[in-house]
Structure 1
């Protein structure tokens, strides 16, 4: 190796640790920003969930016990639930209870709120995760195929059909689609069970009702992002090397399109978590979505408070996980760039 080559290699070798240190600092800023934002959002959520009971017009204890409750029973229940303490003391007790799992007692079930939620949360998680996975597995290949087929104005009929059908499917409320599925496949054809969680067959209609709308919306985004990626300079470079068209799409264009679409996927995951409330009620699903409806009707405010808290934490964590996945898949993305 010549002296000139050594001189050229030395600055490059010296720059490598500097680049590594810069990337580590950006990751640290990114982690601190996302962690701080998550903690602030969790505090706002917890405070809103606590104030929910105290901002309800009227007396929640009297409303939950019914009009026939005696004054002595109302006061005893108020003391048992800790509602006779000052507001700041109740707030501190509520914050402590979140870390210890003490979310109060359900008046409707006569059980701790944490136990009621713990018994029904697995069914809701199973339904929500299955719906999200199905939506992603449908949206990515469909959006990619339509993007390739309609690139540069080709196959206008396919583009029009995809746009029309995705808009229609994306705007149908999930509970209305669920009712239609029950009528067709449960009542008329009797192919699938209409209620409850009993085997894989019972998942089909709730998962379809939950995933259809988000899959249609996500497929449109994947198509738009892939069309933009197919016209990018790096894709033209890959084509100039005479790579196979399939390899160009799968290895170069699609990963970038999917990475950009994951941002919307996180928002859709949050909406799907909230959508389980209506879907569970349509199919009598034994999750916390159907439980919160009964708690609202029964004025079981502490149970409603706990379920709202669980739903809110789930949405916040889902969005944070998506941000982290995006940063891992594309460290040069605007997420890390914004952490400069």
Structure 2
């Protein structure tokens, strides 16, 4: 009896170690693959039709990671649609992008993601349809749902806080911008993406979706987006559509509107992260963490026993809240 129990426990331990080892090896191997982005540049025209240049629409591309993704995809040969809510910001990025890549075409799309929390019914539908109609003459083959709205402006209040400290409007608008807007924009663009197959949708997620505390609206909204990614990926398989859907687990990028720290091993700058995102295209997975140190961290978080993972998440975010509150206090004192 004792021998059987020992053998069973040993076998279980070996299975656990094998699972850990396989996960780690898979994560490391991923970072030596080539990007599959070129297949979305190789346009095969329909019989009797001329070839069309490929375009990529990146939401939230007026700054930060969205801007970096626009430059990265332009470097691969895509024409770019810059999206945001600030027209002047987009025009400035457009000028920079065209100066860096003079052979590429660049457009801007001004559309506030908050409309999904401010409008409804016919008004919302009209806004989305008008935006998509303005792009009807180009060949959009890549949609990057990058737009991300922080729970609060960091210059006004600490970005990490409990549910009861936010107003109803703050919660509603945040969920609308981070979850509803990407879904509805994808729906509005879907007829074009289907027509332009093969096509690609990239949804930018967040570490907050792993159940980290003090993200009462942002974390669940990003979890919704990742669930939508998995659903849409399999939906396209059932419908026989050549539309790749890829979710990106982002654990932090500096050089954005909300994070301005110096880059380090765990916190890459936006251009570096943009390159890793593009390298992930065509990997065959529903979700990936394209930056190796972050991938290992996420793998550890997901593999730990729940009680240990919960303690790590709570302590980590508690410390980040205290640090953010101290920075805000110092900034207000200096004014």
TM-score, reference length from structure 2: 0.25
TM-score by length of 1: 0.25
Which protein has the bigger helix share? 1
Task: State the structure with bigger RCO (CA 8 A, min sep 6), 1 or 2.
Answer: 1
